[in-house]
A and B are shown apart, each in its own frame.
Chain A
Amino acid sequence: MTAAVFFGCAFIAFGPALALYIFTIATEPLRVIFLIIGAFFWLVSLLFSSLFWFMARTITDNKDGPIQKYLLILGVLVSVLIQETFRFMYYKLLKKASEGLKSINPDETAPSMRLLAYVSGLGFGIMSGVFAFVNTLSDSLGPGTVGIHGDSPQFFLNSAFMTLVIILLHMFWGIIFFDGCEKKKWSALLVVLLTHLLVSALTFISPHYGINLMSTYIIMVLMGIWAFFVAGGSCRSLKLCLLCQDKDFLLFNQRSR
C-alpha cells in the first residue's frame, strides 16, 4: 500500500492514456471537446446499465444467493451491449456534426472521421478506466495489507494492468467500429461487440488472474493490429516510420514545430 503502490498503479493504468492525451489531443481544442463528449456518452451508457441492473435487482427483491451473481453477470453483458449502442449513437452524432462543420466552413479544418474514431475511443476508454479504477486507487493510498484473508496479494497490480488493457481496447474498438460504420461493414461491428463481451466474460473467472490477463492482452494486440491496418497503416509505412525514413512524417513534424 501507500504512495509507492499508489503511484505505480496509477501510472501503469493511466500512463499510456495520459501520454496519448498529451501528445495527440491536448494541443487541439476541438479534440479535447470531442474527448469529453465521448466520456460523457460512456457515462450515460453506464447510467443506463446501472438502471437496468438496479431494476433487475428490485424485481428479484434483493434476495441473496446465486441469483445475485447471475444478475450481475447479466448486468455486465447488458452493459456491454449498451456501451456499444452508445458508441454507435456517438458515431451518428459525429457524422451529423461533421456535416454541420463542413457546411459552416468548407475549408479542411474539421477533423476526419478516423481522428474522431480515435478520440472517441480514447474518451470511452479513459472514462471507463477511471471509473473502474479510481476508487481502488484511492484505497491503495491508505494503510492496509493486501491479501491478508487469502486473496491474491497482487490485487492492485492486476487491477492496474486490467484497467490499462481496457483503455487501450476501447481505443482500438473505437477505430474499428467507426471504420465499420463508415464502410457499412457490419461484421466489424459484430466482432467489436463479441470481443468486448469476451473480454468482460473473461473477467468472470476472476481469481485466476494469469489466464484472464494474458488472454485479454492477446486480444488487445490483435485488435491493435487490426486497428492499425484499418486506420490506414501498412507494413511499409510502419517500416518507414521505425527507420525514420518517412519523409512525409518528418517534414510534417518539422513544419509544425
Chain B
Amino acid sequence: MSKTNKNQKSITSFFKNPGQTSTNDSSASKPKSSPIVETKEIKKENEEEILKMPSSSPPPGPAPAPIPSAQLILSPKKPSVAVCPTIQRQPTSETEWINLSDRFLLTNRNFEVQYAHLYAERLGSLRKIVTKAAENRWDRKIPIKRMNDIIPDEECILVGILFKQMVLKPSIVKQIATENGFSLQPPRNRYVDPTDKLILEEETQRIELNGKIDVDQFVTGIVMAIRGYEDEKGVFIVKDYCFKDLSIPKQLTPIKDDRYILLASGFLLSETSIIFNQLEYLVNSLTQSSNIQSKQIQNILSNIIRFVVAGNLIESSNRLKETTNQAKYLTRKMTASSVEAMHSIDELFNKIAAITDIDIMPGVNDPSCHMLPQQPLHPCMFPSSSKQKSTHCLTNPYDFQIGDIRLLGTSGQNVDDIDLQSTIDDRVQILEKCLDWGVIAPTCPDTLSCYPYVKNDPFIINDTPHVFFAGNQPKFGTRLFKGPNNIEVRLICIPCFAQSNSCVALNLNTLECHEISFENQTPQIIQ
C-alpha cells in the first residue's frame, strides 16, 4: 500500500502545478534528469506556493476574526496553514486564464483519518455564515440555540448539517452481513423511499426533522438553519429553513468582441465507438471555421478562446474484468481497450490544441483517481498533445477565471449522485440547488467517495461563480439563475457527446449558451 502511495505522490508532484505560470511546462520539455530529484524540487515549489497563499489572501470561511493573541505568542512549531479557498484574482488582460483549482490538488495523502473531520470542517466553516443568513431572514427575537439548550414547544433556530437516513442506500455492512457477501439489491435508479428521514446533526447531538421540509428534495451534507420547535416526541417540527447567503460575484463589464468557450464532455471512446465521424466534423469545423455557411456559427467557432472537456474521455471498460481473471500468459499480448481509446483522444486533442487552448478534466471513467477531487490526468497519456503549450490537464472539480468571469464546474459525478439520492428531476435544478446549498458536492463523502480532508473542505462554494457547469448529463440544459442582490449565474448541463453529438458554446460577453450539434458535416445550432 505504501509503495503505490509513493508512486502516486511522485506522479502528481512530478506534474507541475498548472496555471501558476501562464505557460505550462509539459513533461516532454523537461530535461531528462533523475526524476527523484525533480519531484522533490517541484514538491517544494508546491509547498512554498501553498504556504504563500495565506499571507496574500484573507482568512477563509466565516467573517475574518482576529487571531487570539495566545496563538501569536505561543505559536506552534509547524505553521498552522489553513488552506485558503482561492480568491478571485485581478486579471491582467481581458481574456487571461487563471487557474484557481489549487485547493483540489492533493499533495499529502493521509488515508488514516476518518471522514468525520470533513463534516466537522464543513459545519464549522459554514456555521457563522448560515447563522448570519438566518438572522437576516427571520425575526431577530427568535433565539438561535444549540441543540442541548432547546426547550420543548418553544420556537427557536438551529444550525447544523443534514443527514438523510435512507433504507435503500447500499451499505457495505449489510452486504457483508449476507452469507456470500453478495449485494442485497441490484443498483437502482434512485435510492429514495417513503420511509426516508431527515436528521439535523451538530457537533454534539442530532435531532429528527419533520414538518414543512420535503425529505425527497434534500441530501446528506447540507449545512442549513431551521426554524421551528421541538414537539413532545422529540422531533423538531420545521416551519422554515434557509441556507448560506450567496457571496456577490464581481460585476462584469462587457468586452468589445464576442468571445466564446466551447464546453464538451463524454466522448466515451472505446473500440465500439461510433462517433469518430462526428469527431471529424468537430475538428473540421474548428480548424476550417471560415468554410461554415451559417454566419452565426462561423462567428462562434472562429472566436473560441478555450475548449473545456469535462470528463469521460473513454468508456469504462468491462473487458478488463475478464482479463484479470485469466492467466497471465493468455493475456500477455492483449492491450486494454482504454489504451487505444486514449490514443485516439490524444490525436483528437492534438488537432484541437493547434487552434485553441484545451482544458482536460478527468471524469468517472478516466484513468485518474476514483475519489473526488480527481487529480489531473498525467500528460504522459497525451504524448503528442501535451507537447503543445495549449493543453492543460486539470482537476475535477475545476475552478478557473477567464478575465473577470469566474467559472466552476465538475464532470457531473456530484449531480448524478444527488439525482440518485433525491427526487429532483431537472438536472439544472440540481445545479441550482448545489449553488443554494453552498457546496459543490454535498453527498461527499456519504455516497460519493472523496478524500478524507481534515484542515479544509474544498467543496464549499465560497465565491459564487458566474458560470456553474456539470458535464456528462443526459441532455443539454441551461438557465440563468437569478439570486438576491442581482446575482446572476449561468447554469449549464453539458450533454454527453457520445449520445448527443453536441457541444455547448458559451458567450463570455452575454453569458448566453448555445448547443451546437456536430452530427452532420455542417454544424447546426439546436434551438
Q: Do A and B bind? A: no
- Which residues of A are at the interface with B, using a C-beta cutoff of 8 A? none
The residues of B with any CB-CB pair to A shorter than 8 Å are none
